[in-house]
């Protein structure tokens, strides 16, 4: 029941744009109040108590429902319990509902709901989210694996051409190839000059600390990161020692223990951002997340601790390996700001896609979705504005501090705000480490050496300029002493006598205590998934790429259909007599034309393979999958297409041209052409793998095709060839196909009569 009363003073006059208060008479002012407000005090108290009781009963009902659902999950076997989570959602009417979900089958909307509740505003909620996850782990006293990386007296050198000989022109490439051949047989000495890239570099990267790697271009930053990741080029000579938790590189798998993020953006252009991250997450696996979750759930059950529902669902979802889509992908998309382009194709030179900055963030995210505990990042801010670089580095800092990661980031010229995010600093110059220690102490060291950073000068810019002969003098502050150039060896001697340098030397002399190593810190297995799971992942990706390139495959089918129609009209059976050698030559020409068209139909593989090679080499080096897992889906998925294209050719041409009408010979020709088509596909993939680039692969393909046709047995037969070139017929795939279809045709009874 509602009662209307008139208030004697004010009313509110509302319109579309504003509201104003106006004086009215009491008769003009209707105000609505609930009738219970005008009851007696006893009635008022009773109504309030009733409402509170209803709220308590509603809250108790919600809590009871939550407890019952959670208890039901806790009673499940461990295998099922790891895969079951609870999602909580508040409806518009204020009612809370709970939903039990299978974390392996969470759809896009469910994953978005989990991420929306866990990390609604990235800048504000990400650190809270990571802290909640870490608090859950610490509450039961579980230790997280930690990695300490040491390098001692690390030196890297290589041989290069200098001056005009270093220019990549045709003359130099020809001379280099000729000189390499002479060196191989011992008739010439190398004309390359030795260059020192790193010299006696030593340092320690500790867990829970984020290290900034700073230096001029060509100072050796990329080489240092590659050496720490165990990915140095084989042509470089390396000395010194790199250890992870006291273990040398051959004692574990460095590619899985640490993640090296390159400054080169190599991605498959036909895949979206989300698909790229999902594939990377699937191949890299979950590492120790599953074992950690099992132990965590066991400890919580023993001490009767109920975890945060959102954190529990998230940790379960990212701990199940082999999933086609993963919740960790949604998390990385969110913190890297890639949600806006998650379903956009990455793109390449011929296909419009995401921007350069988004591609750079995708390169970073591709390794963040994995379980690696040590991250080595090379130039991750290239192409990004200062604000985005700061946000990404801030998220990295939160992950390092909350999850005890070991991280080294190389940045070209960080802003002051980004610079202040780091804990430690490595300053490289001319391949030598000038300073390695806490970031807060670096200015103190340079003041010790006689240089001072001006108040309004960025510290990173000061550090880059103070080691330069051209810019060093302006920072000299010992006015009572004449300035002299301080070289890199002088800085190195000063650092060794500085307190930070002495402390570093003392730490390096103390061997790492291997008894403190977490059993799961170093990865000993080469691949994260079984061969079957990796095959399914590669097969799924190849199927997706075929769908994206469906136009090309349809065009190839139409092309071979058109050529078959042309062939059947040129070699029509009414004009193809049977009985003498001249008639046989027409059939021989028709057979050769059929074989050549079927094999040439596989030339499109040159483009497909050369485009996929950069990504393949990247994935192979990071141990996503073995090479055969990449190649096998090609053969499996191309086989039905090969059957269709070969079948179309044989169906359209065999009886219209007038080949031997016996059904068995029809199927034998189909089998021979199908095998030749498969050979053509494989051959052009091989040529692309050898050439590696589109231009070289096309040139090699054209040359190889000419050789195949020449020695195919039609242009010139084997009996009329010179003995010294006899081997050419045995290396030509066309010779085997030509012999098969010719023998199949001319052994028919209608060709058995004697003729000249």
Percent residues over pLDDT 70 in the chain: 89
Helices (H) and strands (E) in the chain, counts: 27, 16
Give the pLDDT of residue 94. 63
| Angstrom distance (rounded) from CA 415 to CA 422 | 12
Mean pLDDT, range 570-580, rounded to an integer: 73
Give the pLDDT of residue 435. 92
Asked if 22 and 13 count as a contact pair (C-beta separation under 8 A), the reply is yes
Average pLDDT, the chain: 83
Which range, of 52-66, 461-475, 601-615, averages the lowest pLDDT?
Answer: 52-66
Asked if 425 and 438 count as a contact pair (C-beta separation under 8 A), the reply is yes
409 pLDDT more than 60: yes
Mean pLDDT, range 390-412, rounded to an integer: 91
Report the interhelical angle of 627-657 vs 531-548 (nearest 10°). 50
* Res. 90 pLDDT band, cuts 50 70 90: low
Asked if 570 and 658 count as a contact pair (C-beta separation under 8 A), the reply is no
Contacts of 305 (CB under 8 A, 6+ apart): 139, 140, 299
Give the pLDDT of residue 1. 39
DSSP state of 348: B
Could you give the count of Cα atoms lying within 13 Å of 305 in the half-sphere of its Cβ? 17
How buried is residue 644: exposed, middle or buried, by Cβ count under 10 Å (0-12/13-18/19+)? middle
DSSP SS3 for 458: coil
DSSP SS3 for 739: helix
| Angstrom distance (rounded) from CA 541 to CA 325 | 12
Give the pLDDT of residue 413. 84
pLDDT digits (tens, 9 = 90+) for 328-376: 898 999 888 898 998 999 988 888 889 888 899 999 999 999 888 999 9
Q: Is the model more confident about 580 or about 488?
A: 488
16 pLDDT more than 80: no
Which range, of 54-63, 243-252, 705-714, averages the lowest pLDDT?
Answer: 54-63
| Angstrom distance (rounded) from CA 410 to CA 415 | 13
Structural domains present in the chain: 158-202 (no CATH), 203-285+322-509 (3.40.50.300), 531-751 (no CATH)
Q: Which of 382, 65, 373 is nearest to 222 (CA)?
A: 382
Give the pLDDT of residue 4. 38
Which range, of 27-36, 85-94, 570-579, averages the lowest pLDDT?
Answer: 27-36
| Angstrom distance (rounded) from CA 113 to CA 120 | 10
Give the pLDDT of residue 561. 92
Give me the phi and psi of 157, to 5 degrees please: -140, 160
Give the pLDDT of residue 271. 92
Asked if 495 and 434 count as a contact pair (C-beta separation under 8 A), the reply is yes
33 pLDDT more than 50: no
Cβ burial 686-704 (10 Å sphere, 16+ → b, else e): ebbeebeeeeebbebbeeb
12 pLDDT more than 50: no
pLDDT digits (tens, 9 = 90+) for 294-339: 888 888 888 888 888 888 888 888 888 888 888 889 899 988 889 8
Round to the nearest angstrom and report the end-to-end CA distance of the chain: 117
| Dihedral sign (CA 657, 663, 664, 670) | positive
pLDDT digits (tens, 9 = 90+) for 99-131: 777 888 887 887 888 888 778 777 788 888 889
pTM, rounded to two decimals = 0.82
Could you give the count of Cα atoms lying within 13 Å of 28 in the half-sphere of its Cβ? 9
Which range, of 52-66, 199-213, 447-461, 545-559, averages the lowest pLDDT?
Answer: 52-66
Mean pLDDT, range 154-163, rounded to an integer: 86
Give the pLDDT of residue 643. 93
Give the pLDDT of residue 58. 45
Asked if 241 and 154 count as a contact pair (C-beta separation under 8 A), the reply is yes
Mean pLDDT, range 140-147, rounded to an integer: 88
Give the pLDDT of residue 575. 66
Asked if 396 and 209 count as a contact pair (C-beta separation under 8 A), the reply is no
Give the pLDDT of residue 721. 76
| Angstrom distance (rounded) from CA 137 to CA 295 | 10
Give the pLDDT of residue 579. 66
pLDDT digits (tens, 9 = 90+) for 209-236: 999 999 888 888 999 999 999 888 888 8
| Angstrom distance (rounded) from CA 533 to CA 230 | 26
Which range, of 24-33, 151-160, 416-425, 587-596, averages the lowest pLDDT?
Answer: 24-33
Give the pLDDT of residue 25. 39
163 pLDDT more than 50: yes
Which range, of 62-66, 178-182, 671-675, averages the lowest pLDDT?
Answer: 62-66
DSSP state of 678: H
DSSP state of 748: S
Q: Which of 94, 97, 105 is nearest to 54 (CA)?
A: 94
Mean pLDDT, range 465-475, rounded to an integer: 86
| Angstrom distance (rounded) from CA 307 to CA 289 | 17
646 pLDDT more than 50: yes
């Amino acid at each position: 029941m509602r009662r209307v009363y008139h208030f004697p003073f004010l009313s509110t006059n509302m319109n579309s744009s504003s509201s104003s208060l106006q004086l009215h008479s009491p008769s003009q002012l209707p105000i609505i109040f609930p009738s219970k407000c005008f009851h007696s005090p006893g009635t008022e108290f009773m109504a309030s108590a009733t409402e509170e009781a209803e709220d308590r009963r509603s809250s108790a009902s919600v809590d009871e429902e939550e407890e019952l659902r959670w208890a039901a999950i806790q009673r499940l076997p461990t295998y099922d319990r790891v895969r079951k989570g609870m999602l909580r959602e508040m409806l518009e009417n204020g009612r809370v509902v709970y939903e039990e979900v299978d974390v392996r089958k969470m759809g896009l909307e469910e994953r978005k709901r989990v991420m929306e509740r866990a990390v609604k505003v990235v800048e504000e909620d990400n650190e809270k989210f990571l802290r909640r996850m870490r608090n859950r782990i610490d509450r039961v006293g579980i230790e997280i694996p930690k990695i300490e990386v040491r390098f001692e007296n690390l030196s890297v050198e290589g041989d290069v051409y200098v001056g005009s000989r270093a220019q990549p022109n045709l003359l130099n490439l020809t001379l280099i190839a000729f000189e390499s051949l002479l060196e191989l047989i011992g008739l010439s000495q190398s004309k390359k000059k030795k260059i020192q890239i790193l010299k006696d570099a030593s340092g320690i990267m500790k867990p829970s600390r984020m290290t900034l790697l700073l230096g001029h271009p060509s100072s050796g930053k990329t080489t240092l990161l590659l050496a720490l990741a165990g990915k140095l080029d084989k042509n470089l000579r390396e000395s010194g020692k790199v250890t992870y938790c006291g273990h040398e590189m051959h004692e574990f798998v460095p590619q899985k223990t640490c993640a090296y993020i390159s400054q080169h953006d190599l991605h498959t252009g036909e895949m979206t951002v989300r698909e790229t991250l999902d594939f990377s997450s699937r191949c890299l696996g979950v590492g120790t997340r599953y074992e950690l979750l099992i132990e965590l759930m066991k400890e919580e059950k023993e001490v009767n601790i109920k975890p945060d529902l959102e954190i529990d669902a998230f940790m379960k979802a990212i701990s199940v390996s082999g999933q086609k889509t993963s919740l960790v992908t949604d998390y990385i998309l969110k913190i890297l700001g890639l949600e806006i382009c998650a379903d956009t194709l990455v793109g390449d030179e011929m296909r419009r896609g995401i921007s350069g900055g988004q591609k750079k963030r995708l390169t970073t995210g591709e390794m963040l979705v994995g379980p690696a505990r040590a991250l080595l990042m090379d130039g991750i801010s290239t192409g990004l504005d200062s604000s985005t670089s700061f946000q990404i580095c801030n998220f990295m800092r939160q992950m390092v501090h909350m999850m005890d990661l070991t991280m080294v980031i190389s940045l070209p010229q960080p802003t002051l705000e980004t610079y202040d995010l780091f804990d430690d600093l490595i300053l490289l110059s001319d391949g030598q480490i000038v300073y390695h220690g806490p970031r807060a102490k670096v200015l103190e060291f340079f003041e010790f050496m006689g240089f001072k950073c001006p108040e309004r000068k960025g510290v990173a810019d000061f550090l880059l300029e103070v080691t330069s002969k051209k810019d060093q003098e302006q920072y000299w502050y010992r006015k009572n002493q004449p300035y002299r150039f301080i070289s890199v060896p002088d800085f190195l001697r000063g650092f060794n006598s500085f307190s930070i340098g002495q402390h570093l030397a003392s730490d390096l002399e103390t061997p790492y205590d291997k008894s403190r190593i977490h059993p799961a810190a170093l990865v000993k297995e080469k691949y994260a998934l079984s061969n079957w799971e990796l095959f399914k992942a590669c097969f799924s990706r190849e199927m997706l790429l075929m769908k994206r390139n469906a136009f090309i495959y349809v065009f190839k089918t139409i092309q071979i259909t058109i050529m078959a129609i042309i062939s059947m009209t040129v070699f029509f059976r009414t004009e193809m007599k049977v009985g003498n050698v001249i008639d046989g030559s027409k059939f021989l020409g028709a057979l050769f034309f059929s074989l050549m068209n079927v094999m040439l139909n596989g030339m499109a593989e040159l483009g497909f393979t050369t485009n996929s090679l950069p990504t393949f080499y990247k994935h192979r080096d990071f141990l996503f999958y073995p090479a055969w897992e990449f190649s096998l889906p090609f053969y499996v998925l191309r086989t039905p297409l090969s059957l269709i294209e070969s079948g179309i050719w044989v169906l359209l041409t065999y009886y219209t041209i007038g080949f031997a009408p016996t059904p068995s010979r029809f199927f034998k020709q189909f089998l021979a052409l199908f095998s030749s088509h498969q050979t053509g596909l494989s051959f052009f993939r091989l040529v692309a793998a050898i050439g590696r680039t589109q231009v070289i692969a096309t040139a090699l393909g054209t040359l190889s095709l000419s050789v195949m046709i020449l020695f195919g047995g039609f242009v010139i037969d084997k009996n009329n060839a010179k003995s010294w070139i006899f081997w050419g017929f045995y290396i030509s795939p066309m010779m085997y196909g030509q012999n098969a279809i010719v023998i199949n045709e001319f052994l028919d009874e209608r060709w058995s009569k004697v003729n000249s």
